């Protein structure tokens, strides 16, 4: 059986990585997720990102992605521990999800996969180099 694949373009740059790190550290300190977006929008990283991508359509896409990322962190943080995207293992230093009877590092759940990388790099179960590859906007 051939599975259809979905190609996702991931935009990776220092400013996006900085924004994601700000979201993680702000939210995990029980920051109010409603207040995170205004803090991000006033940051140097956000302003630099908007200067780089000055097209209004692109800025709207970026804003939407950033908002989605924050929502997905709230979901990840507050969802039942047995939800499929909360059940993962670290295999070869990467987040792996159950796929059939085995685990795969190729399976992802979008931003819901990003947040385990933050958790696992802090616990030293994922290397900083692998962590950096997980950062980005989809």
The DSSP string of the chain is: -PPP------B--HHHHHHHHHHHHHHHTT--HHHHHHHHHTSHHHHHHHHHT--HHHHHHHHHHHHHHHHHHHHHHHS-TTSGGG-EEEETTEEEEEETTEEESS---THHHHHHHHHHHHTTSS-HHHHHHH-SB-
Q: How confident is the model at residue 36, as a pLDDT?
A: 84
Average pLDDT, the chain: 84
Q: How confident is the model at residue 109, as a pLDDT?
A: 79
What percent of the chain lies above the pLDDT cut of 90?
36
Give the pairing type, strands 94-99 and 88-91.
Answer: antiparallel
Q: Is the pLDDT of residue 1 over 50?
A: no
Q: Is the pLDDT of residue 7 over 60?
A: no
Domain range summary for the chain, segments of one domain joined by +: 14-134
Q: What are the tens digits of pLDDT across the range 39-80?
A: 888 999 999 999 998 888 888 988 999 899 888 888 887 776
pTM attached to this predicted model: 0.82
């Amino acid at each position: 059986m051939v599975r259809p694949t979905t190609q996702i373009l991931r935009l990776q740059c220092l400013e996006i990585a900085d924004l994601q790190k700000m979201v993680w550290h702000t939210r995990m300190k029980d920051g109010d997720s409603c207040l995170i977006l205004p803090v991000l929008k006033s940051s140097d990283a956000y302003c630099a990102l908007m200067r780089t991508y000055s097209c209004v359509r692109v800025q709207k896409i970026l804003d939407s992605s950033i908002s989605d990322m924050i929502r997905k962190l709230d979901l990840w943080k507050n969802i039942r521990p047995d939800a499929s995207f909360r059940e993962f293992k670290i295999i070869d230093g990467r987040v792996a999800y159950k796929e059939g009877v085995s685990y795969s590092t190729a399976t992802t759940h979008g931003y819901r996969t990003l947040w385990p990388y933050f958790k696992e790099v802090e616990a030293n179960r994922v290397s900083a180099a692998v962590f950096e590859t997980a950062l980005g906007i989809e």
